[in-house]
Amino acid sequence: MMDATLLSVFTGMPAAGELPWPRFELLGETEWIAIAEALGRGEGDLVALFGDDAAVHMAVRGPVALPAGSGIVSLPVPERRFPSVGRHHPPAIRLERTIRDLYGHVPVGAVDARPWLDHGVWGGGAAEPYVFLPVEGEGLHQIPVGPVHAGIIEPGHFRFTANGEVVVRLEERLGYVHKGVEALAVGATLDRAARLAGRVSGDSTVAYALAFARAVEAALGLELPPRARLLRGVLAELERIANHIGDLGAVCNDASFALMLTHCGLLREEVLRACDVLTGHRLMMDRVVPGGLAADLTDEGVERIAKLLDVLEPRFERIVELYDLTPSLLDRTVSTGVVRPDYVRRFAAGGPVGRASGRDFDARRDHAYPPYDRVPPRIVLREAGDVDARLWVRIDEVRESIRLVRGFLSALTPGPVTVALRPVGEAREGASVIEAFRGEVFAFVRLRPDLTVDHLHLRDASWFQWPLLETAIEGNIVADFPLINKSFNCSYSGQDL
């Protein structure tokens, strides 16, 4: 039950078109602080913390939120200052550093005042030295890695402090692939904004496009035809299958078992080629749009997916058997890179990172959006929280995705796959949460009366997973970092906006 003293915090009234994430304007900082303190006590989840030119916004879920279970609270910042949430709830620290970088709003009382996305060159001057947090102790040395890495990987800097080979501290510095997504979205048409959303993190293009589209549809009160709902589920699960298979091979490769990388790479390629035939793009970009789908799937396409699954399933099971029966491989993954259950709960970490440490959350079930409201997924949990557990979550999710896609295809009936978008004569807002292969993606959009975008915020699951990677490496050897890092597979681009 919701604490009555917290219920009284919500002094505003939700505007039309904002369901199922009603937004409330707070009348003062006291209420904002009360919510931050409640989050710090574990009385709810921080879903997102973001800003615009005039206010800061906090999306919350759980007992601290609205009676409906989720909501957004907004605090006007006429003096460009707001009480720090991070001083009470650590998952907010990097988010409020980002707000300061992007909008200049200062989190008063913040425990970390360093920039996050701004590397000191936005104003055209020389970059200031970035001060990493101090570490003290006998026999410690530092190992800087990145931001440029070997192989095909996005840039990010990792500062290790080690005692011999054992890591005692890791600190990340990201932001190298900041693209200015929120600024680029201002004034964009819905078509343009949908393309932009689908490119925030390319391996999750369907998920991001779906999150944006559902936020727009919530703002406009649109109901999609059944065929569009089911086909969106098909595309989302194909994206999950391709990425989970790729991650399985990549983790095993970092454990020096390249044979798995080869097998998984070939299988993932089969999925991507089928996606290319079905949608005209290997990653299925620009297929999901506000109002439905850009194009229908033909009967031949449905048959192609069914045949793909029939071929994929037995081959995938042989790969799983190879992993499970290779002791030298299990020796590298079992008990390596453990994430504590209390950490994933505190950070509301989702996806394989959260579920491998026992956090029972999946937006497909817990926010029950179409088509999962009719065909809910079976949620896979593990308790060990190590690399092996994160791999098994992925393995079982591939199996479940195959089941879901078959179910969606069997339920298809002829019909339209889009509805018309018409201006409603007033500004509207909407928000959504969907489940990408890494975890939940949150989207908030404010639309102008002409259906151009006034503000867009997209929050990747990686925001709440990157900090846990720093904890997972502690006590492990430096050589195991690539293995642990890949078992997380956080998005640099998605986090860097």
Q: How far apart are CA 249 and CA 259, in angstroms?
A: 8
Sign of torsion over alpha carbons 436, 354, 176, 114: positive
- pLDDT by residue for the chain (497 residues), tens only, comes to 233 333 333 333 343 334 478 888 887 899 999 999 999 999 999 999 999 999 999 999 987 655 566 889 999 999 999 999 999 999 999 999 999 999 999 999 999 999 999 998 887 666 788 999 988 888 999 999 989 987 778 999 999 999 999 999 999 999 999 999 999 999 999 999 999 999 999 999 999 999 999 999 999 999 999 999 999 999 999 999 999 999 999 999 999 999 999 999 999 999 999 999 999 999 999 999 999 999 999 999 999 999 999 999 999 999 999 999 999 999 999 999 999 999 999 999 999 999 999 999 999 999 999 999 998 899 999 999 999 999 999 999 999 999 999 999 999 999 999 999 988 889 999 999 999 999 999 999 999 999 999 999 999 999 999 999 999 999 999 999 999 999 999 999 999 99
Q: Do 185 and 70 share a structural domain?
A: no
Q: Do 489 and 394 share a structural domain?
A: yes
pLDDT of residue 15: 37
Neighbours of 84 (CB within 10 A): 22
pLDDT of residue 64: 67
pLDDT of residue 19: 47
Q: Do 418 and 315 share a structural domain?
A: yes
Within a domain: 105: no
Boundary residue ending a domain (57, 72, 96): 96
Boundary residue ending a domain (46, 66, 96): 96
Domain interval for residue 81: 4-96
Within a domain: 169: no
pLDDT of residue 14: 40
Q: Do 189 and 59 share a structural domain?
A: no
Residue 358, sorted as left (phi over 0), alpha (psi -120 to 50) or beta, turns out to be left
Within a domain: 146: no
Number of domains the chain contains: 2
pLDDT of residue 128: 80
Within a domain: 167: no
DSSP letters for 146-198: -SS-SSS----EEEEEEETTEEEEEEEE--TT---HHHHHTT--HHHHHHHHT
Q: Do 242 and 349 share a structural domain?
A: yes
Q: How far apart are CA 291 and CA 222, in angstroms?
A: 7
Q: Do 185 and 87 share a structural domain?
A: no
Within a domain: 133: no
Within a domain: 476: yes
Q: Judge if the upstream peptide bond of residue 147 is cis by omega within 30 degrees of 0.
A: yes
- Tell me the CATH number at 369: 1.10.645.10
Q: Do 351 and 239 share a structural domain?
A: yes
pLDDT of residue 66: 55
pLDDT of residue 387: 98
Q: 138: Cβ–Cβ under 8 A, 6 or more apart, which residues?
A: none
Q: What is the dihedral of CA 62, 63, 69, 70, to 10 degrees?
A: -60
Q: How far apart are CA 489 and CA 487, in angstroms?
A: 6
Boundary residue ending a domain (96, 120, 149): 96
Within a domain: 71: yes
The single residue listed with the structure tokens 């604490």 is 3
Within a domain: 252: yes
Q: Do 224 and 363 share a structural domain?
A: yes
